[in-house]
Amino acid sequence: MSKIKVRLSYLFGAFGHDFFAGVMMTYFIMFVTNHLFNTGNKNFDDKMVVIVTTLIVVIRICELFLDPFIGNAIDKTKTRWGKFKPWVVIGSIISGICLAILFTNMGGLTSRPILYLIIFAIVYIIMDIFYSFKDVGLWSMVPALSFDSLEREVTATFGRFGSTIGANLVTVAVVPIVLFFSVNQNSGAGDDRGWFAFGLITAILSILGAIIIGIGTKEVNSELRKNKTETSISKVFSMLFHNDQLMWTAFSYLIYALGWDLVNSLMLYYFTFVLGEPKEYSIYGTINVIIGMISVSLFPSLAKKFHRRNVLITSILVMLASLILLLLANNSVPLTIFAAVMVTLPTPLVFLVVMMTMTDTVEYAQLKLGHRDESLVLSVRPLVDKLASAVVNGIVGITVIVAGMSGSATFRTVTEAGKTRFKGIMIVAPMILLIMALFIFLKKVKITEEKHAEIVDELEKTWHEQIDQPTVSISIPPKTIDYVSPATGEILALSKVTDKNFSSGNMGRGFAIKPKGNHIISPFNGTVEATFPTKHSIGLKSDNGILTLIHVGIGTVNMKGEGFKQFVVKGQHVNKGQKLLEFSDALIKQNHLDDTIMVVIPNHKSINTFEYVHSSGNIINGENILRLSGPNTNK
């Protein structure tokens, strides 16, 4: 299956998924507050809105505790189509059908409130659970599509691009679709027919995207994908508690997400009931699609030039200034659109800063706790997003009622006092939350790019101790085995390198090479035991139990992976001579760094015979450099 086909299929699937997510988390609540209950009895309508929005909050928060079990169920799935694709397709079909049903009054059952609430709760629970199956399956399947690290990054980028378009395009589409299918325009708010059409189209887009993924991708079957660690609720919360940097990042992000979700969820109400110009909302949405893609594409260069922490500070300050401008815009549509766009502009940057910071806490926890668990750490961000969205849905329901915007309300029926209360919740409260989030992040989160580089450097020194596995045993046969050079260049004694951790012998016994090539191969048949996000080093264990660390350059951890390409993943079995890494020697020198390659065997004391075939001169990768035999029974 061609790579471009896989990438595009994943893009379309992510597009439909995030279009669905935007509708479910942001716009469904407007249907509930303004179209689902419209009997003319305001007390009854408001009461039902509060009950339904409360149900949504409770269901979504409770569902968070099911996510580890959902991930575990997916992990245990075995079908001819793979473990992820079936759940992506099944999850989209069932959640899509349920969403379409929820965008109706279920055949007039709203006149029988108790029965309606029971059925609503059942349908919403089914939708939410199967949406989670699809959500977990979709974003977990990238590693299953390829074992090539670069191809994974490209595929994930395609997916993120599609999801960004889907999440922002829904803002453009909501009003035109609703009004096109509505019989009663209702001052630009549409009617229940228009909202049902919007829900149905959303379901169709989600299902089509999932089917495209099902047809256009293929999961790679390999022994590497077996025996993965199962996730449990206790582990999730244990990781949160003990990984303090993850906890503080997640907490600050939760406060931020509450603020941003409040603004985002109430924006359409603002255009409809404060400005009285719901059709202008599509202009705001169209601009968002463009700036969303620009923000995502600019992040790597901005983070590199200004550092992630500064990007976050600037982003929050821009959002705060824009909210102040929105508060002062009054009834000016152009000024409101400009302010709303400027509030939205930095949000992808904040998301990426948080996501990268949380990712860096993987190594922090590995160093602190002695084991590595990527799945637990990376599951926290979606959990925070879901929690924030659930809480905000409840707040939106209450806000709409206290502002007098529920039921059949129109721009003309909303009082100035109601608009003031609405602005207080939509603009002032988020400003306070954003300030709190920034303060907590700056005060408590210490994982910067520099700190992460130090952690990775420390992990490299003790990587063989950090491996979550039984004690390594040496099983070298009595006869000697050959250990080939992983690189081409001039051989140097390890004692002559400028990095004292290697020259002192603390890292192990071995050799160094001044490179005259640009790639690293495996010196033996074995398994990849340790990889690092900076891609400048790799830890291996031979089939006989020999541990080896290959480290390209001195200080290259600070290059943060730039100029390095990794061709293998942790857990992968490799053959002698197989390419592991590729590096740009020119870029290393441009950064004024030493390009010396260090090769060490940490458990050399367990080996009986450790003989250098070559200890000086030039060598070609694949040529014998060590002769080993053992084990050493007298250690």
Residues serving a catalytic function are 551
Cα gap 272→479, rounded to integer Å: 82
3-state secondary structure 540-553: EEECCCCEEEEEEE
Cα 51 to Cα 286: distance, rounded to the nearest angstrom: 34
Distances (CA, A) of 78 to 87, 188, 212: 11, 49, 21
Query: Cα-Cα-Cα-Cα dihedral of 606, 611, 617, 623, to 10°?
Result: -80
**484 within 8 A of 612, measured Cβ to Cβ:** no
Distance of CA 84 to the CA centre of its chain: 17
* CA-angle at 87, arms to 81 and 91, nearest 5°: 140
539 forms beta bridges with 530, 549
Among left, alpha and beta (phi > 0; psi -120 to 50; other), residue 108 is: left
SS3 of 578, please? coil
Residues 65, 233 contacting (CB under 8 angstroms)? yes
- For residue 516, give the amino acid letter: K
Q: Which tokens belong to 614? A: 């070559």
Whole-angstrom CA distances from 62 to 66, 70, 125, 386, 550 are 7, 13, 10, 11, 46
Q: Which residue has the tokens 């006092």?
A: 417
What 8-state DSSP symbol labels residue 601? E
Structure tokens at 167: 């999440």
Dihedral sign computed on CA atoms, order 259, 265, 268, 273? negative
Q: How many residues does the chain have?
A: 635
d(CA 282, CA 24): 18
Dihedral of CA atoms 59, 65, 66, 70 in degrees, nearest 10, equals 140
The tokens describing 527, both together, are 């398994």
* Tally: H helices and E strands in the chain: 23, 14
Is residue 290 within 8 A of residue 423, CB to CB? The reply is no
3-state secondary structure of 510: strand
> Which letter does DSSP use for residue 274 in this model?
I
Using CA atoms of 114, 117, 123, 129 in order, give the dihedral in degrees to the nearest 10. -130
Placement of tokens 């300050």 in the chain: 317
Q: Which amino acid is residue 51, in one-letter code?
A: I
Q: Are strands 537-542 and 579-583 parallel, antiparallel or unpaired?
A: unpaired
C-alpha distances out from residue 188 to 77, 104, 185, 194, 354, Å: 47, 19, 5, 11, 37
Q: In this structure, what token pair is assigned to residue 299?
A: 């992040």
| Structural element, H or E, at residue 72 | helix 67-75
